[in-house]
Amino acid sequence: MEELRKHAKELLENKTVAAILAYVEAGPQRTKPAIITKPEDVSKMVFNEYCLNNLAVYLTKARIKNLAKQNGTVMKLGIVAKPCDIHAVVALIQESQLKREDVYIIGMNCHGVVKDFGMEFSGETLASKCVPCETHKPLYYDIVLGEEKQTPAVSDEVLAKMQAIEKMTYEERFEYFKKEFDKCIKCYACRAACPLCYCQRCITDKTIPRWIESSPHSRGNFAWNVVRAFHLSGRCIGCGECERACPMDIPLSLLNRRMTETAKEAFAYVSGRSIETPTLVGSYDVKDSDELFM
């Protein structure tokens, strides 16, 4: 922790970065995101198992981008990032939303975070996204900090649930998801929390023509959730922020995880792992499977 604060202070003092997106304490077993711009504020910075937010979501916001523009020069933005958050940064670079040189990644070694604030960190309270996680060390970084610790091994509940759904009949599946989507109140918190939902105007907000019915009805809810999952297919880095943000507890990771598995199985692609790799949607291989087509 001291190491992190010391390094952050240096970065701000020697003007390497204009600001640092970081976590600060917000009560017992709770943190909140903060933008640190003054060296004296670094003492508030923390990093622990309660750093749930994916701060990469702020990198594409115009107001935060503008912080980096000072007196006509563009400075870097610093970000305190877990390895999974760095996947989002990589995906943003792949999708031209960010340049590698615009961001200073303070990569943190990570052994998992809790499901929700106020829980004692243990195998039982380990966030579901951390269960299948393979990257405990940052892949891209300007510096790596934090200690390496063992992640508690627990069974993959999301995967089990997914497999259970796949065993259902079509009708049961349709009913299951219809019921889940029915809860949707179209607050779009999932969209706001997603680091990869950076569109200027979301497809669901387009009215000429209207792409997705925005009325509070299960038909429109169904369409929204299908399109949201589809637009993240092959792109989702699995930070699970959408599900955490959802006030109605719709199990969005069940969808995202399924599409991530498809990307892996069909195209051997995992999103956000390499800046150089072309994005999955946006490239093609002549040898892609042709099974689907008569």
Partner 1 sequence: MKIGVFICHCGENIGRTVDCPRVAKACEWLPGVEVSLDYKYMCSDPGQNMIKDEIRKKKLDAIVVGSCSPHMHEKTFRKAAVDAGINPFLVEIANLREHCSWVHDDIDSATDKAIDLVRMAVEKVKRNVPLTTIEVPVTKRTLVIGGGIAGIQAALDVANAGYEVVLVEKEPSIGGHMSQLSETFPTLDCSQCILTPRMVEVYQHPRIKLMTYSEVEKVEGFIGNFTVTIRKKARHIDEDKCTGCGLCITKCPTKKKAFNSFEEDLAYRPAVYVPFPQAVPNIPVIDETVCMYYKNGKCGMCVKVCGREAIDFNQQDKIVTEEIGAIIVATGYKLYKIDKKPDDSPIKGYGEYGYGKFKDVVDGLQFERIASASGPTSGEFKRPSDGKEPKKIVFIQCVGSRDESKGFSYCSKICCMYTAKHAMLYKHKVHDGEAYVFYMDIRSGGKMYDEFVRRAIEEDGVKYIRGRVSRIFEKDGKYIVRGEDTIAGMPVEIDADMVVLATAMIAQQDASELAQTIGIPYDKYGFYNEAHPKLRPIESTTGGVFLAGACQSPKDIPESVAMASAAAAKALVLFGSDKLEREPVVAYVNESLCAGCFACKKVCPYGAVEVKELKDRNGVVYREVAYVNTGLCQGCGTCTATCPSKSVELAGFNNEEIFAQIAAL
Partner 2 sequence: MKEQNWEPKIVAFVCNWCTYTGADLAGTSRLKYPTNVKLIRVMCSGGIDPVFILKAFERGADGILVSGCHPNDCHYNAGNFHARRRWTFFHELLDYLGIDKDRLQFSWVSASEGKKFVDVVSKVVNDVKAMGPFKGYEQLNKEFMTEFPDVSGVNNDVIIKEGEAV
| Residues forming the site for partner 1 (CB under 8 A) | 95-97, 198-203, 206, 208-209, 211, 231, 278-279, 281-283
DSSP letter (8 states) at residue 171: H
| 68, 76 Cβ separation under 8 angstroms | yes
User: How far apart are CB 226 and partner 1 at their closest, in Å?
Assistant: 14
Which bin fits 98, alpha (ψ -120 to 50), beta or left (φ > 0)? beta
CB of 246 to partner 2, least distance (A): 17
State the Cα–Cα distance between residues 112 and 146, nearest whole angstrom.
13
CB of 164 to partner 2, least distance (A): 12
By CB under 8 A, is residue 187 in contact with partner 2? no
On the CB side of 140, how many CA atoms lie within 13 Å of its CA? 22
Closest approach of Cβ 154 to partner 2, in Å? 24
Which of 106, 109, 83, 95 has the alpha carbon at shortest distance from 19?
106
Nearer to partner 1, 67 or 144 (CB): 67
At a CB cut-off of 8 Å and minimum separation 6, what does 268 contact?
A: none
What are the angstrom distances between the C-alpha of 101 and each of 16, 18, 28? 11, 13, 36
The site partner of 19 among partner 1, partner 2, none (C-beta below 5 to 8 Å per kind) is none
Residue 268 binds partner 2, judged by CB under 8 A? no
Tell me how far apart the alpha carbons of residues 6 and 4 are, in angstroms, rounded to a whole number: 5
- Residues in region 193-252 near partner 2 by CB under 8 A: 203, 207-213, 215, 217-219, 222-223, 226-227, 229-230, 233-234
Contact residues for partner 2, defined by CB under 8 A:
165-166, 168, 170-178, 203, 207-213, 215, 217-219, 222-223, 226-227, 229-230, 233-234, 255, 258-259, 262-263, 266-267, 280-281, 284-286, 288-290, 292-294
